[in-house]
Amino acid sequence: MVKDKKKTKTVYNRIVIKLGTSLLTNDTSHLNHDMMAKLVAQIARLHRQGCEIIIVSSGAIASGKDKLGLPKKVNGIPYKQVCSSVGQSRLMNTYEQLFDPYNITIAQGLLTKTNLKDRSGYLNTRNTLLALMELGVISIINENDMVAVDEIKEAKFGDNDNLSAMVANMVDADLLLILTEVDGLFTADPHTNADAKLIPEVEHIDSGIERLAKGTTSKLGMGGMITKIEAARLATDSGVAVIIANGRIPDILPEVISGEKLGTLFKPVTSKLDSRDRWMLSGLSTKGKIIIDDGAAEALKKQKRSLLAAGIKKVDGKFQRGDIINIQNETGATLGAGITNYSAQDINIIKGMQSQKIATMLGCDYGAEVIHRNNLVIL
Ligand code: GLU
């Protein structure tokens, strides 16, 4: 048992830590034991202080490629699946060995989008993760690459950045910490522009921030900065703070957790939401969207009203009564999500109309509200 007497004051308690391939391999073609040992030592230290931690770890494909002696650039199906299947157990074995001296038990979780799409799958996964956390077990999660192939887009997260945001959303984390091999989000690509400056804090992810993210990619992982920003958006929309920071900085984890200003902090855009609202915002089960006018947006946001047909301008997608849909304004910004009382077909007929005309127009009436306040989450 390794004793660790250092103490850190912690600002965040429940933390999802995403470890990317480039970091875990230290930009080589195999898992880097020293790098992983350093990260595990820091995680163990926070765990001893009572932090609840879940790891989302990449590195399976890289480790499998290495074991099979395949070149770094082999891509496509079935190679990625083959490599991942070989590498996943090696990855877990490495973690097992590294956590063991700290007397920390780990658990493996392999997830696909399909697992979480229906509410019961989402809740079962959530309950398991929470129960493991309560027992002091650190779950180590990866995408189940063997079953979630690129061809089945709706089944695959595609990158562990998005998966980590989904996990943070699911367990209602205080912080999603994305550790990578760059210092955070810069004003330009730091690899090619010497004047690029680190952005310490992002209040709101807008199109300007998305533009900055484009063009900064890493060598081994699937996600570049773009997927990290997508992940940050999903997590901050669910009330989770996100920090993107450089995992190579010594003691980065305790520093960040104690509130040191390192990396880029993305502030949560809402306060904590309840589980059902977070699920609706996760986008896992979203079937379409409706675009509403500014008056309706104001009524939803400020007066906390239900959404009526009168404020709806456009419908997008094929959805049925009872499905989850996104709500956007006319400039394309997402305002929230909710469970619709009317199908896309029906909303196309009643959009822009007063509610009392619904029965005459449709020959049936499910109420004045297209989305009732109780089934609505507004950002
Ligand atoms: N699931 C992949 C792996 O373990 C990584 C995906 C990613 O890098 O985002 O190798």
Nearest CA to ligand 1 atom 8: 221
- The per-residue pLDDT for 254 is 94
pLDDT at residue 151 greater than cutoff 90? no
- The per-residue pLDDT for 121 is 87
Going by pLDDT thresholds of 50, 70 and 90, the confidence category of residue 240 is: very high
* Summary mean pLDDT of the chain: 89
Please give the domain boundaries of the chain with CATH numbers for all domains: 14-276 (3.40.1160.10), 286-378 (2.30.130.10)
Distance from Cα 292 to the centre of ligand 1, integer Å: 38
User: How many angstroms separate the CA atoms of 40 and 27, rounded?
Assistant: 18
What would the mean pLDDT of 261-279 be, rounded to a whole number? 87
pLDDT at residue 211 greater than cutoff 70? yes
Distance from Cα 336 to the centre of ligand 1, integer Å: 29
Cα of 313 vs its chain's centroid, Å: 30
- The per-residue pLDDT for 221 is 46
Nearest ligand 1 atom, CA 61: 10
What would the mean pLDDT of 71-96 be, rounded to a whole number? 85
What's the pTM? 0.84
- How much of the chain exceeds pLDDT 70, in percent? 92
* Ligand 1 pocket list (CB less than 6 A): 20-21, 58-62, 84, 142-143, 145, 159-160, 221-223
DSSP symbol at 375: G
What would the mean pLDDT of 141-163 be, rounded to a whole number? 81
Q: Name the more confident of 70 and 84.
A: 84
Q: Name the more confident of 162 and 192.
A: 162
pLDDT digits (tens, 9 = 90+) for 312-358: 999 999 999 999 999 999 998 889 999 999 999 999 999 999 998 99
pLDDT at residue 265 greater than cutoff 60? yes
pLDDT at residue 73 greater than cutoff 60? yes
- The per-residue pLDDT for 379 is 87
Is 355:375 a contact under the CB 8 Å cutoff?
A: no
pLDDT digits (tens, 9 = 90+) for 3-60: 455 556 778 999 999 999 999 999 898 999 999 999 999 999 999 999 999 999 999 9
- The per-residue pLDDT for 214 is 75
Of 243, 283, 265, nearest to 379 (Cα)?
A: 283
Is 233:241 a contact under the CB 8 Å cutoff?
A: no
Is 139:133 a contact under the CB 8 Å cutoff?
A: yes
Mutate to test the pocket of ligand 1, among 65, 222, 228, 244 (most ligand atoms within 8 A of CB): 222
> Out of 4-18, 127-141, 260-274, 312-326, which region has the weakest mean confidence (pLDDT)?
4-18
Which residue type is seen at 158?
Answer: G
Q: Is 100 exposed, middle or buried (0-12, 13-18, 19+ CB in 10 A)?
A: middle
- The per-residue pLDDT for 328 is 95
- How much of the chain exceeds pLDDT 90, in percent? 63
Q: Name the more confident of 282 and 141.
A: 141
- The per-residue pLDDT for 215 is 58
